[in-house]
């Protein structure tokens, strides 16, 4: 049996918003055999479902590629649906049937295709306003409808309605991009929402990221503009072949609505008494509404959707309702999350529901919001008094576990409240469970840290007046993120904004989209505006990591110039082009070895900066080689060698002592291969000594912590790595777990052992950076690794390394070729290892403490290796059991 399933186009199933000229196809192979390799494929593309009039027939292509296969046919038309199917053959001589038909549709592919214009309901004095506004238009349809598509975006956020129903399930559209350079538009199929006769289309607009409050600690507003606006074009195709186009223009009507106030940080105030019943339906009396006004915006900056939509993902029921020692009525949802509260309420007109949000309770059990800083995190709903009313916000979200009910008509019933979890619509990639329940909870916390902070961009935190796309946090966590979720499109979109925001001199802003450069004069910590080591390096590390996980060379093609410019920026600012000792750096941020009153750890920033400089240069050389730019690869190789030598000359003594006696200094020297070969053992021993001096605990910050366990396990100290990971007292990952954390904290000591807290000024309890340990858990404990020469898990490296008293692990990774899984268990002196390898891939399996003789009966050519034996396998399921001693 050979079968082709799960057809996708540009990572998506049946997308309708393709804006590229040469889309790519991917598929999964099913077979009942082992060692299955695709030997050829055929792809058909047609405008009709029976494929009689073929647009493109690839012909028989001898290739094992089943991911990122390019369309090579005639130029595609915009606003057109195309069907495609795939047939393959394998190395057993079997040919599959044609796959089920999938489709993709192109969207508006050129700015010249827009005939609509931006319109607004706001005036020149509304820059300070955070109200919601309404826009509407009625139109008639006399012909029978074949299909209808809406292409829409906004300045601010929008909700689109047709004939009384919301269009689609996406939230916070059009998402956050570098609006002054690129603004996404969305495509919706609204065929079933229209009817012959009278129709109405309407939009609700809110301030959002475009004109609302941003970077609250420096008080930015109207960053991109001071008016919300809508751009909409609907193309209706009739069965007789004719077409009608409805566009946003000055014939639309505008009005204020029931959203009195809506801000991302502060929440929403909604007066249901002001609802305009039927405003989004035909035959509504809008004679008192104002005429919409035009807003100028360069349509060349409007681009098709290239990220993932934010959507409702889960609904959590309350765990408990209680009264705090201060008399506050509080609901606990049992999980720190990002989203909002949906509730039902009955009462009289003018009655109010007022909610506030918090992540934790203080040591006395009272509601704690000081760490929200200036964010008001407040929801106010004013009842219209017509039976039971249901409310959920529109253009805001909060990071919370607890809500305080400040006001509610009558006694609030617990069952009337729900927490709606929101995040970008990523498919779950990885799962992990093991015999250690604290470690399982840590993995849960890491996943929920991702969920809470991957809301259109990779934010630092989802609760306080910040929520920005910090580059350092993203590069630290991206590998773990790719294990947990399918983040290919999520990071593609964000990296396109990074590319757009990169400065002319190659510098990289601290946050993407950039709302900080040239606006930090009042910040007491940050003395410069951009380009910190470990933060700007996201320009190199993120695309390279995404390429490793998805095997998508287009990511490198798009970002290569950005990578080169970043390395060039450092070279320009480094002493003799080699030691980066200038500028402001966050350094080993919030390390425990920082001086009192400082957030920057004790490791010298010039050492960290030069180490990351070497690493980014190395990755840029590797990227150049992948792209076939051999001469440039050799140039970067040469620069890399010079940086390494300069690092050793500057930071190592002649006897091999690393000048900075900190954990992070030694971790980076080892992780980035900067330690002199003859002095590597001393570097390792000193790191172990530093660990011992701290009773086996870490003192590292953002840049040292992610690599600590890797450095230990890769240098012969696996037991020390497990000991560090599984520490339960302060400071450690499991300390947070035992303190009741359900996400990852910004500070290892966010809540101290005595129940007091880190300064409220910077104390997020949902801050995923330290969750980067997930990368080690998947790669070492579970043993799932990528062969860098065969990215995308085309060839996996399976190398489980048991330890820490863990007796079993079950892990799965969904790859672009299918599900890869590893299970191992220790029972009565034996180890059982089970591996599933997706079809059309291979895996190099290392069995710990095994000899070839113990496993040769599996028909695999195992050979002795360091720590066990190893062999190459093809696709299929493999099980091994042997004495483990």
User: For the domain that residue 50 is a member of, what is the CATH number?
Assistant: 2.60.40.10
What is the domain count for the chain?
Answer: 4
Q: Do 356 and 230 belong together in one domain?
A: no
Q: Do 292 and 349 belong together in one domain?
A: no
Q: Do 145 and 282 belong together in one domain?
A: yes
> How many C-alpha atoms does 1 have within 13 Å on its Cβ side?
5
Q: Do 222 and 296 belong together in one domain?
A: yes
Residue 60 domain boundaries: 2-105
Provide CB contacts within 8 A for 123, sequence distance 6+. 227, 293
- Work out the burial of residue 70: count CB atoms within 10 Å of its CB; fewer than 13 is exposed, 13-18 middle, 19 or more buried: middle
- 55 in any annotated domain: yes
DSSP secondary structure string, 816-883?
TTEEEEEEEEEETTEEEEEEEE-TT-EEEEEEET--HHHHGGGS---EEETTEEEEEE-SEEEEEEEE
What are the Cα distances from residue 190, in Å, to 16, 111, 145, 238, 492?
Answer: 12, 22, 11, 13, 27
Q: Do 199 and 227 belong together in one domain?
A: yes
Q: Per-residue pLDDT tens for 803-861?
A: 999 999 999 999 999 999 999 999 999 999 999 999 999 999 999 999 998 887 667 88
Q: Do 149 and 78 belong together in one domain?
A: no
- Work out the burial of residue 50: count CB atoms within 10 Å of its CB; fewer than 13 is exposed, 13-18 middle, 19 or more buried: exposed
User: For the domain that residue 368 is a member of, what is the CATH number?
Assistant: 2.60.120.260
The answer to whether the CB of 331 falls within 8 A of the CB of 391 is no
- 189 in any annotated domain: yes
The answer on pLDDT for 598 being more than 90 is: no
The answer to whether the CB of 743 falls within 8 A of the CB of 766 is yes
- 528 in any annotated domain: no
- 245 in any annotated domain: yes
Q: Do 285 and 347 belong together in one domain?
A: no
- Work out the burial of residue 364: count CB atoms within 10 Å of its CB; fewer than 13 is exposed, 13-18 middle, 19 or more buried: exposed
> How many C-alpha atoms does 776 have within 13 Å on its Cβ side?
26
Classify residue 525 as left (phi > 0), alpha (psi -120 to 50) or beta. alpha
- Work out the burial of residue 372: count CB atoms within 10 Å of its CB; fewer than 13 is exposed, 13-18 middle, 19 or more buried: buried
> Using CA atoms, how far apart are residues 396 and 206, in angstroms rounded to an integer?
9
The reported pLDDT for the residue numbered 521 is 75
The answer to whether the CB of 601 falls within 8 A of the CB of 593 is yes
Q: Of all residues in the chain, what percent carry a pLDDT higher than 90?
A: 95
The answer on pLDDT for 522 being more than 90 is: no
The reported pLDDT for the residue numbered 857 is 67
Span 450-456, average pLDDT? 98
The answer on pLDDT for 528 being more than 90 is: no
> How many C-alpha atoms does 782 have within 13 Å on its Cβ side?
30
- 388 in any annotated domain: yes
Strands 24-31 and 2-9, by their bridges, are antiparallel
Confidence of residue 518 (pLDDT cuts 50, 70, 90): confident
Q: Per-residue pLDDT tens for 81-98?
A: 999 999 999 999 999 999
Q: Do 206 and 345 belong together in one domain?
A: no
Sign of the torsion angle spanned by Cα atoms 373, 374, 377, 378: positive
Q: Do 121 and 219 belong together in one domain?
A: yes
- 659 in any annotated domain: no
The reported pLDDT for the residue numbered 648 is 98
Q: Of all residues in the chain, what percent carry a pLDDT higher than 70?
A: 100
Give the residue among 11, 66, 21, 73 at the shortest CA–CA distance from 45.
73
- Taking only Cα atoms into account, the Rg of the chain, rounded to an integer number of angstroms, comes to 28
User: Could you say which of 63, 80, 105 is where a domain stops?
Assistant: 105
> Using CA atoms, how far apart are residues 205 and 228, in angstroms rounded to an integer?
7
Q: Do 120 and 218 belong together in one domain?
A: yes
Instruction: Please give the positions annotated as active site.
Output: 466, 746
* Least confident residue range of 54-58, 180-184, 381-385, 758-762: 758-762
The answer to whether the CB of 224 falls within 8 A of the CB of 515 is no
Q: Do 29 and 132 belong together in one domain?
A: no
Give the residue among 552, 482, 440 at the shortest CA–CA distance from 784.
482
> Using CA atoms, how far apart are residues 822 and 840, in angstroms rounded to an integer?
18
User: Could you say which of 369, 402, 424 is where a domain stops?
Assistant: 424
How many residues are listed for the chain in this entry?
885
Record the pTM: 0.97
- 660 in any annotated domain: no
Sign of the torsion angle spanned by Cα atoms 611, 616, 621, 625: positive
- 531 in any annotated domain: no
Q: Per-residue pLDDT tens for 285-316?
A: 999 999 999 999 999 999 999 999 999 999 99
Cis peptide before 45 (omega within 30 of 0): no
DSSP, collapsed to helix, strand or coil, labels residue 884 as coil
Strands 183-189 and 302-304, by their bridges, are parallel
Give the residue among 398, 392, 386, 399 at the shortest CA–CA distance from 416.
392
Q: Do 285 and 161 belong together in one domain?
A: yes
Q: Per-residue pLDDT tens for 467-479?
A: 999 999 999 999 9
> Using CA atoms, how far apart are residues 230 and 205, in angstroms rounded to an integer?
8
User: Could you say which of 105, 133, 164 is where a domain stops?
Assistant: 105
Strands 795-798 and 842-848, by their bridges, are parallel
Give the residue among 205, 179, 175 at the shortest CA–CA distance from 422.
175
What are the Cα distances from residue 277, in Å, to 140, 262, 273, 274, 284?
Answer: 21, 21, 10, 9, 9
The answer on pLDDT for 282 being more than 80 is: yes
- Work out the burial of residue 325: count CB atoms within 10 Å of its CB; fewer than 13 is exposed, 13-18 middle, 19 or more buried: exposed
The answer on pLDDT for 884 being more than 80 is: yes
């Amino acid at each position: 049996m050979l079968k082709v399933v799960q057809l996708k186009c540009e990572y998506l199933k049946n997308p309708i918003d393709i804006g590229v000229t040469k889309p790519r196809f991917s598929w999964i192979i099913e077979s009942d055999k082992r060692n299955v390799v695709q030997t050829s494929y055929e792809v058909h593309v047609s405008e009709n479902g029976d494929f009689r009039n073929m647009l493109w027939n690839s012909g028989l292509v001898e290739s094992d590629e089943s991911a990122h296969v390019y369309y090579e046919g005639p130029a595609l038309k915009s606003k057109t649906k195309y069907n495609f199917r795939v047939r393959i053959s394998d190395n057993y001589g079997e040919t599959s049937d044609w796959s089920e038909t999938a489709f993709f549709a192109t969207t508006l592919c050129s700015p010249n295709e827009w005939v609509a214009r931006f319109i607004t309901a706001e005036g020149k004095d509304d820059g300070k306003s955070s109200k919601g506004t309404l826009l509407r238009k009625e139109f008639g349809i006399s012909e029978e409808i074949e299909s209808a598509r809406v292409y829409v975006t906004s300045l601010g956020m929008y909700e689109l309605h047709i004939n009384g129903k919301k269009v689609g399930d996406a939230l916070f559209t059009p998402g956050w991009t570098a609006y002054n350079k690129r603004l996404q538009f969305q495509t919706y199929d609204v065929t079933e929402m229209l009817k012959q006769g009278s129709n109405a289309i309407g939009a609700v607009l809110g301030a959002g990221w475009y004109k609302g409050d941003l970077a609250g600690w420096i008080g930015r507003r109207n960053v991109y503009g001071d008016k919300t606006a809508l751009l909409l074009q609907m193309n209706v195709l009739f069965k007789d072949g004719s077409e009608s186009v409805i566009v946003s223009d000055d014939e639309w009507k505008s009005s204020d609505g029931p959203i009195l106030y809506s801000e991302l940080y502060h929440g929403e105030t909604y007066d249901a008494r002001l609802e305009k019943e039927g405003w989004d339906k035909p035959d509504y009396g809008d004679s008192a509404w104002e005429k919409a006004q035009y807003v100028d915006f360069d349509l060349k900056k409007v681009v098709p959707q290239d990220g993932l939509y934010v959507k409702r993902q889960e609904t959590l029921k309350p765990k408990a309702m209680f009264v705090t020692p201060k008399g506050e009525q509080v609901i606990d949802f049992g999980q720190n999350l990002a989203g909002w509260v949906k509730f039902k309420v009955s009462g009289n007109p003018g009655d109010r529901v007022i909610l506030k949000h918090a992540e934790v309770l203080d040591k006395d059990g009272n509601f704690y919001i000081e760490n929200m800083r200036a964010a008001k995190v407040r929801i106010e709903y004013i009842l219209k008094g017509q039976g039971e009313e249901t409310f959920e916000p529109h253009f805001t979200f909060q990071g919370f576990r607890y809500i305080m009910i400040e006001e509610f008509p009558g006694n609030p019933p617990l069952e009337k409240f729900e927490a709606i979890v929101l995040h970008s619509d990523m498919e779950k990639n990885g799962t992990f469970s093991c015999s250690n329940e604290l470690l399982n909870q840590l993995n849960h916390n890491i996943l929920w840290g991702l969920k809470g902070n991957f809301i259109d961009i990779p934010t630092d935190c989802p609760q306080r007046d910040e929520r920005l796309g910090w580059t350092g946090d993203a590069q630290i966590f991206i590998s773990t993120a790719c294990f947990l979720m399918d983040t290919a499109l999520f990071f593609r979109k964000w990296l396109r904004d990074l590319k757009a925001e990169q400065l002319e001199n190659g510098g990289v802003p601290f946050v993407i989209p950039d709302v900080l450069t040239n606006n930090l004069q009042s910040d007491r910590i940050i003395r410069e505006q951009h380009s910190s080591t470990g933060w700007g390096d996201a320009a190199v590390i993120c695309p390279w990591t995404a390429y490793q996980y998805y095997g998508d060379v287009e990511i490198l093609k798009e970002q290569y110039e950005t990578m080169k410019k970043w390395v060039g920026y450092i070279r320009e600012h480094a002493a003799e082009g080699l030691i980066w000792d200038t500028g402001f750096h966050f350094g080993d941020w919030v390390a425990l070895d920082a001086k009192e009153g400082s957030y920057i750890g004790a490791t010298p920033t010039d050492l960290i900066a030069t180490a990351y400089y070497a690493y980014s240069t190395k990755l840029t050389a590797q990227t150049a080689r992948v792209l076939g730019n051999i001469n440039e690869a050799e140039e970067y190789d040469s620069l890399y060698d010079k940086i390494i030598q300069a690092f050793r000359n500057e930071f190592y003594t002649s006897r091999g002592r690393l000048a900075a006696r900190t954990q992070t200094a030694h971790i980076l020297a080892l992780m980035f291969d900067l330690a002199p070969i003859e002095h590597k053992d001393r570097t390792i021993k000193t790191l172990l000594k530093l660990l011992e001096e701290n009773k086996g605990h870490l003192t590292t910050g953002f840049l040292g912590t992610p690599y600590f366990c890797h450095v230990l396990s890769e240098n012969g100290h696996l037991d020390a790595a497990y000991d560090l990971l599984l520490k339960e007292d302060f400071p450690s990952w499991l300390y947070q777990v035992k303190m009741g954390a359900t996400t990852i904290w910004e500070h290892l000591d966010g809540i101290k052992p005595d129940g007091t807290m880190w300064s409220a000024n910077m104390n997020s309890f949902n801050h995923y950076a330290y969750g980067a340990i997930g990368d080690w858990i998947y790669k070492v404990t579970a043993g799932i690794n990528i062969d860098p020469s065969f990215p995308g898990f085309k060839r996996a490296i399976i190398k489980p390394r048991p330890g820490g008293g863990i007796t079993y692990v079950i892990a799965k990774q969904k790859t672009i070729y299918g599900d890869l899984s590893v299970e191992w268990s220790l029972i009565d002196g034996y180890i059982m290892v089970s591996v599933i390898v997706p079809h059309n891939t291979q895996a190099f399996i290392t069995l710990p403490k095994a000899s070839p003789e113990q496993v040769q009966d599996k028909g695999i050519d195992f050979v002795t290796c360091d720590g066990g034996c190893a062999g190459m396998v093809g696709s299929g399921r493999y099980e091994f059991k042997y004495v483990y001693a």
